[in-house]
Chain A
Amino acid sequence: MPLDYKDIDRLVSTYREDYTPDVDQGLRQLHRRITPVRRLRPYSRRTYLMGAAAALALVVTGLLFLLGPGNQERLINQSNQPLAFDLPDGTRITLQQGSEATYDPDDYNLETRRVELRGQAFFEVHPDRDRPFLVSNGTAELRVTGTAFNLRTEDRTMEVEVSEGSVLLQRDGEAIEVSALECGLARAGQPLKHASSPNLNHHAWRTGALKFDHTPMSEVLEYFYDNWGIECTWAGGKPCNYAVSGNYQGGDAGAVLSDIAKLGGLDLTPQGSDGKHYELSGPCSL
C-alpha cells in the first residue's frame, strides 16, 4: 500500500520533535549573555547621567559638525563616563571617555553604513542585511550586518570582542570571522589573531565587570591597559606571572587592580598622580 501525500504530511509534522534542549541550562546561559548589558539599562543613576550627557553631547556634536572638516559628523565623548549615541539607522554607539567616531551623513545608510573609530566603543548594530556596517581605523576594517561588540583601536591596532552575533575582521585581503564570546586582533605587520573570550573582559570599561579564571597576571594587566590605559611596571624589571582567579565588579579600576595585587601578595604603588601608572612589587611565590 503506497503512502499518499496526506500520510507524508502527517509524518513530517513530527520532524525533529524529539529534539529537547535543557531549558534551565539554556536560561542560565541567557543570563550570562545579557548580564553585562542589563547593568546599562534604565533606573540606574549611571544611565540617567548617560542620558543627560548624551543630550549635552548632541549639542556639542552639532557644533562640531558645523565646524568640522568636510561633511563629516563627529561624535566625541569629552565627558568622564561612557556616552551613548544613536546613529540614523538605529545603531547605538557607546563611546569610551576621550574616544571619537565619525561618519558621512550624506553617504551613511545608502549602500553601506561606514564609521571611523578612534579609541574604544561598544556597538549595538541595527540589523540590516542589505547595508553592511563597516568600521575602520586605517589599519583594518570590521564588517557587520547586525550584532553587538566592543571595538578598540590604537595606532595601527584594531581589537574586537563580540558579545552577540558575529563580525568579519579583515585587512589586506585577509579575513577572519569572530563570533560571540570571541576576540579578534588586527595589528599592522602581524597576522590576524583569533581567540576565545568567554568573560568579555574587553567590555569592562563599560560594564565594570572583570572575570578571571587562572588568567596569567601579564594578561590581566593587558586588560587594564586595554580598558583604562593603565600601565604597570614591575619593580626591578622582574615580572611575576602568577595566575589570577575571581570576579571583580566596580567603577574604580585602580582599586580593583590593587585588590588583585594584594591577593597575589604584591604591593601596588601609584607612579605620579594621573591614576594611569603603577608599580608592582613584592615577593614572587612562583
Chain B
Amino acid sequence: MPDTTSATDTALFAALRTGESAALDELFRRYYVDLCRVAIRLVSDGPAAEDIVQEMFTSLWTKRDRLPEETPAVNAYLRRSVRNRSLNFLRDRKRIPVDDAEPSDTTADTLHQQPTAALEREELQTRVNRAIDRLPERCRLVFVMSKVEDMSHREIADELSISVKTVENQMTRAYKFLREWLAPAILLILSYFG
C-alpha cells in the first residue's frame, strides 16, 4: 500500500489485516482525536481516555489476524470498540453507580460574559461541558450514551444493567437539570446557533 492517505477506511482495514503497519498509522491519524473524545465523554478523564484508545489500537495490531474480514463501516467499528473499552474501564473501577445521586452543584454558572465570537464559542463549550459533567454520574452516562453516542435506550439499559424505564427517567432528569443550568447562557446560545 504505497499511498495510505488517499486509501479508503475499508482498504486500510484490509491492509491492516495483512500486517501493513502504515495502514495502522493512517487509521490512527484519522481517528485518534475523535476516538479520544468518545472515551473522555464516558470516563471523564483525559489520560485514561487516551490510554483506552492507545490500547484499542495496540489490540488492533496484535490481533489483526482475527479482525473481521469485511468491515464496511470502520469508523463505527472503532467507535464501538472504544465505547466498550470505556464502559469496561468504568465497570472495572466500579464507577457505574447502581443508584441515583444528587447533582454536584446546582448554582448557576458564573462564567464571565466575553465579547468576541471566538470567546463566545469557547465560553459556550465550557458551559456545556460543565453542565453535563455536573449531572449525577449515572444520569450523565445515560445522557451521553443516548445523545452523543446515539445509542438506543435498549442498548444503554443492557450496557448499564438497568431497565429501559430507568433510562427514560434518567433522560428526563438530565433534560430538567440541563435546561436549568444552561438557561443563563440563553443569549449566548441564540447568538451562536442563530
Name A's B-contacting residues (CB within 8 A): 1-3, 5, 7-21, 23, 26-27, 29-30, 33-34, 37-38, 41-43, 90, 124, 129, 145, 148, 164-166, 180
Contact = CB atoms under 8 A, between A and B. Distances in A.
A23 B33 contact: yes
Given A11-B182, A17-B37, A42-B19, 8 more contacts: A3-B186, A11-B124, A11-B189, A15-B128, A16-B129, A23-B32, A30-B24, A164-B55
Interface of B: 19, 21, 24-25, 28-29, 32-33, 36-37, 40-41, 46, 49-51, 53-55, 57-59, 61-63, 66, 88, 92, 122, 124-126, 128-129, 132, 143-144, 147-148, 175, 178-179, 182-183, 186, 189, 193
A13 B88 CA distance: 23
A164 B175 contact: no
Contacts of B50: 21, 26
A165 B54 CA distance: 10
Contacts of A14: 124-125, 128
Contacts of A37: 58, 61-62
A41 B49 CA distance: 28
Contacts of B178: 3, 8, 11-12
A3 B132 contact: no
Contacts of A166: 92
Contact of A29 (B46, B54, B144): B54
Contacts of B24: 30
A8 B41 contact: no
20 contacts: A11-B124, A11-B178, A12-B178, A13-B147, A13-B148, A15-B144, A15-B148, A18-B125, A18-B126, A19-B36, A19-B46, A21-B33, A21-B46, A23-B32, A27-B28, A34-B62, A42-B19, A164-B58, A166-B92, A180-B55
Specify the main secondary structure of chain B where it touches its partner: helix
B129 A30 contact: no
Contacts of B124: 11, 14
A164 B52 CA distance: 10
Contacts of A2: 179, 183
A1 B193 contact: no
A23 B126 CA distance: 23
A90 B66 contact: yes
A28 to B, nearest CB: 11
Contacts of B147: 9, 12-13
Contact of A129 (B88, B148, B189, B193): B88
Contact of A26 (B28, B61, B66, B122): B28
B59 A164 contact: yes
Contacts of B126: 18
Given A5-B175, A8-B179, A23-B29, A124 B62 contact: yes
Contacts of A33: 54, 58
Contact of B61 (A1, A7, A34, A180): A34
Nearest to B92: A166
A11 B192 CA distance: 10
Nearest to B58: A33
A259 B153 CA distance: 62
A270 B36 CA distance: 52
Nearest to A27: B28
A16 B93 CA distance: 22
Contacts of B148: 12-13, 15
Contacts of A30: 24, 28, 54, 57-58
A19 B45 CA distance: 11
A38 B60 CA distance: 12
A19 B40 CA distance: 8
B131 to A, nearest CB: 8
Given A15-B129, A16-B40, A165 B55 contact: yes
A8 B125 CA distance: 13
A130 to B, nearest CB: 12
B32 A26 contact: yes
